Amino acid sequence: MNTIVIAIVLVSVIGILAGILLSYASKIFAVKEDQLFIDLRAELPGANCGGCGFAGCDDYAHALADKSLNTPCNKCAVGGPAVAEKLAGILGTNAGDTERKISFVACNGTNENAKKLYDYKGVTSCKAAKTLFGGVESCLYGCQGLGDCEKACKFDAIHVCDGVATVERDKCTACGACVAACPQHLISLKPESSLVIVQCSNKDMGKAAMAVCKTSCIGCRMCERTCQHDAVHVTDNLAVIDPEKCVNCGACAEKCPKHCILNLSLKAKKVEEKTA
């Protein structure tokens, strides 16, 4: 009987002591958490992907709560416009321009289109392959197709299909992980509304570009001449479309002799026709 009493008393005493110590400590060591921070953090998705450029959601919320920093509230790539609006509501500011962005791979060098330089059997990494004679593709600018971007993507949105990385536009959250991972710098974030995009990064002169890939941009300026909105320009032997001026008419994509300009609106139409 006595041992039970001793056990109960001793364990309760230790428990109560610990409780008192903790409640006392929580007062002494209390760090004032800004109510603003708590509200902001609650709205963020908590994926901690770092797409906003801060070290996780907590860090971003801290930066937002500190109004002197004037951090824009549309940085969260995962939450998108919905979260940006909520954050703006809490902060009492304008949500700003939050058009959704999507990763785009500027290469169409599929196994069929692009010539391989050699048969690569090393570590499955684009970075590693690039150290060997500038990469497995004979095109120095092309996609290595070894999936560094695929491994970097946390959202299962980019995959290597037929030797070229391809983005699943629905799944992409524009966190920019693949942009950083690609050693060829082929991937960039494009606004969702730009549907006509140059799918090549080759800056070689026409003949050299033609030799390495069936769909390389040869810098012939056909697109530049076709465009009625002054949106396409060839710089460094590569066509570049200005998304601000482009109206997605797709005229350049039609005229391109090498078919290296992609018209996504056509693709979408085809899918619609198929499903209809």
Task: Report the residue from 93, 110, 125, 188 that binds another protein according to the rule CB under 8 A.
Answer: 125
String of b and e for 150-188 (b: at least 16 CB within 10 Å)? bebbbbebbebeebbbbbeeeebbbbbbbbebbbbebbb
9 token code pair? 């008393």
Cβ atoms of 229 and 245 within 8 Å: the answer is yes
For position 247 contacting another protein by CB under 8 A, the verdict is no
For position 170 contacting another protein by CB under 8 A, the verdict is no
For position 123 contacting another protein by CB under 8 A, the verdict is yes
Task: Report the residue from 1, 26, 35, 273 that binds another protein according to the rule CB under 8 A.
Answer: 26
Q: Tell me whether residue 111 or residue 124 sits nearer to another protein (CB atom).
A: 124
Residue 189 phi/psi, 5-degree rounding, is: -95, 120
- The span from the CA of 109 to the CA of 160, in Å, is 11
Contact mark string toward another protein, 54..93, x via CB under 8 A: ----------------------------------------
For position 7 contacting another protein by CB under 8 A, the verdict is yes
What are the distances in angstroms from CA 201 to CA 60, 79, 105, 140, 143? 34, 30, 9, 9, 9
- How many residues form the binding site for another protein (CB under 8 A)? 21
For position 23 contacting another protein by CB under 8 A, the verdict is no
For position 271 contacting another protein by CB under 8 A, the verdict is no
Residues in the site for another protein, rule: CB under 8 A? 3, 6-7, 10-11, 14-15, 18-19, 21-22, 25-26, 28-31, 123-125, 151
